[in-house]
Amino acid sequence: MTTKKVRINLASHAELLALPGLTSQQAEAIVRYRTQHGPIADAGQLATVLGASYLPDTLRGLVDFSPAASTAPEAPGA
């Protein structure tokens, strides 16, 4: 488990797994989303990517969405 914020648009699959409660399938969904659509802008969008109606507070405080204008190398335009 991590105590520092994870930059959701730059994190690797392994770094995403450091988030409490995040499954391997959810980490794959985040990477796949970034690859197909680009950066995740906010907590609501991340919840949708994860198949949830909201982002739990346990995750909200550990996720950093900046820079939303860029993303990991696998994303389009990176």
Per-residue pLDDT tens digits for 27-69:
999 999 999 999 999 999 999 999 988 888 888 889 998 865 5
Q: How much is the pLDDT for 74?
A: 60
Residue 1 has pLDDT above 60, yes or no: no
Q: Residue 50's Cα: distance from chain center in Å?
A: 9
69/62 Cα distance (integer angstroms): 19
Please confirm whether the linkage preceding 67 is cis (ω < 30° from 0): yes
This prediction's pTM: 0.81
Tell me if residue 63 falls in helix, strand or coil.
strand
